[in-house]
Structure 1
């Protein structure tokens, strides 16, 4: 007498095999959020992924507005990392206001397997922990992060390679665009000042919204990334683009597409605050129509000192090049959204850009004062030594 589990549905064997095969198909570059399981993609910057409300990535169906003051272009670097990650993952890239020459400046993928991996291979096998057998698999500090940056590792029981969610890029290299890359560029119609008007029918963004809607409806199985660099800049957009009737209609249309295709589309926009400060009504409306708002405040060139902290030279840390302020994060969860200590939200954050590590966001801390001998590791005087000895006695 044969027995059959109640949970198994009786059907044809061929149909069961087909369903199980379709369930294993996963979209490249997409993984569930550790908070609520919603689909997320990487921005191409690991520290920025860890900042986005604890979802470890940018949730699909959301937009991110990056504001920057001054004449620097750190926001443009984030856009290039965002686009390069999409090209490597096989996503559709939609760029507004720039030509195909912008895609030739995307950073290349960093070479996997550096000095850290070679040193691990040369390490003898007998060099193990002698505390207990259950601690033999524990590695050294920082080894897990180094392996995550390298080649894909096998974590499944079947031995299949786990795809990389966020790649490492090198600014000194250029990304070789594959023949299958889906890059769409829409140039804005620049006109004279006399042709500018408040009529929404003359909007330079109408063509972009219509093309994006058509491509989204025709390719439902792909991820799409919208990139809008330096919006409202007079070098890329016509004069009438800064009219509220035209710009707000475009942002409402983009937001409607994000809500209509919540599992396919994300957007990242940069805004120069020097031309459009945050105290203006137009910038405030742009922030309200965006799901996440970040502000980059680079330090002046005179404020970046060549000296670093005494401990920073040993860890090869780059000096901070500016401050990062978080005004809003996309999709807070009812559990708290991963803010606070988990993502660094609410703390003083700084960013530094390097060639190999990219743009790194970390908590900001002031270096010790030059006259403070104790903080710099020097020999304190007798009075401070007595006070310190008295304070540590319990």
Structure 2
């Protein structure tokens, strides 16, 4: 039986052998936050609805590439590229643009500020409810001079609470009618192609070397690469469509994405016009395989746009809310999924049926559901909520009955 006193350690050395070292605060990179799925660093594409669609990570993970395919002669993908570039400029990232002139950077959309009409209307409504003799007392609990609530304690000067917040927004809202005011420290680099290309020389070799040198020189900030309208003859030289040059360029980009295994800093968004490079060709299939995510934009034809807008429940709900009707369908071919939990698309959210709308201020992606056409004489609702497709309308039955009675008479 032990007569040892309580609360006394067995060993003489009761002090801890090692003291916990003070934790060093992590440096937060502007425009980068951890994923909600697995904590990997992600950055915004400049479009909130597209960030929400990227496998649940809330953005494009660093070290990943994304491909936007577009049908028709529209330029919805170009708007997404501008949002992606404008977001990088505002966050202080190094933005690289392939094949476009420098005037493209001056046409980036500016940020859309919310109007203060709602705030003004709210304050005016409160003033209407308060009698004029009590306006000088201020609002209850406002903490200002003459208010009925105790003033809050002001933190001492120099403390952390008294410092203004310096955190930047993760995702901005852009207005296509405005022009972006570039900050003083803007890193926007344009990589033009050679004016005298040769068939045997790759037009992408100098661009790859420039990207590699830029990333190695400054790998503390994220880099964004924009590859617009891949294989378009308006931007790319004739020998750029040769498979030995194009596939080598895409493999080199994959190597740049994994250049820093511990801290990846590069993200890539590419757009390709499908009328010039259809998906049934082998070269386009290789382009899709060498990207982590692939989506396809299929705008509605002009002749059937009104028909789709009038017959869909999503369009009716958007019209009731004051929004614009969907302008096309969005198909998801591949998402940058890294874990089993990051499914990104759920069946109750619309599955593979998605529609997009490009307005003045945003690019919105929503679930697409095609409802029944109103005024269809061949369908009649029954008390159980089902439609009788095989039965004939009552008016038709009555007409046939009258005709039969006349023949019997």
- TM-score exceeds 0.5: yes
Displacement after TM superposition at 1:231 (Å): 1.1
Q: Name the residue aligned to 1:369.
A: 373
Structure 1's 31 and 123: CA in aligned 2 closer, same or farther, altered over 3 A?
farther
Is the 1:190–1:237 Cα contact (8 Å) retained in structure 2? Answer: no
Cα distance in 1, alignment partners of residues 181 and 194 from structure 2: 29
Structure 1's 56 and 122: CA in aligned 2 closer, same or farther, altered over 3 A?
farther
What TM-score do the two structures reach when normalised by structure 1?
A: 0.77
Displacement after TM superposition at 1:277 (Å): 0.5
Q: Name the residue aligned to 2:277.
A: 276
Q: Name the residue aligned to 2:213.
A: 214
- Aligned residue for 1:252, secondary structure, equals helix
Q: Name the residue aligned to 1:131.
A: none
Structure 1's 242 and 313: CA in aligned 2 closer, same or farther, altered over 3 A?
same
- Aligned residue for 2:258, secondary structure, equals helix
Which structure would you say has the larger Rg? Answer: 2
Cα distance in 2, alignment partners of residues 302 and 285 from structure 1: 34
Q: Name the residue aligned to 1:360.
A: 364
Q: Name the residue aligned to 1:173.
A: 178
Displacement after TM superposition at 1:233 (Å): 0.6
Q: Name the residue aligned to 1:63.
A: 65
Cα distance in 1, alignment partners of residues 125 and 340 from structure 2: 46
- Count of equivalent residues: 333
- Aligned residue for 1:260, secondary structure, equals coil
Equivalent of 2:37 in 11, 35, 53: 35
Q: Name the residue aligned to 1:255.
A: 254
Is the 1:189–1:237 Cα contact (8 Å) retained in structure 2? Answer: no
Cα distance in 1, alignment partners of residues 195 and 298 from structure 2: 29
Structure 1's 388 and 68: CA in aligned 2 closer, same or farther, altered over 3 A?
closer
Structure 1's 300 and 388: CA in aligned 2 closer, same or farther, altered over 3 A?
closer
Per-residue displacement from partner, 1:40-86 (whole Å, max 9, x unpaired)? Answer: 00000000000000001000000001111111111111000000000
- Aligned residue for 1:305, secondary structure, equals helix
Displacement after TM superposition at 1:25 (Å): 2.5
Q: Name the residue aligned to 2:245.
A: 246
Coordinate RMSD, CA, aligned: 2.9
Is the 1:51–1:345 Cα contact (8 Å) retained in structure 2? Answer: no
Structure 1's 311 and 26: CA in aligned 2 closer, same or farther, altered over 3 A?
closer
- The structure with higher relative contact order (CA 8 Å, sep 6+) is 1
Displacement after TM superposition at 1:99 (Å): 1.1
Q: Name the residue aligned to 1:312.
A: 318
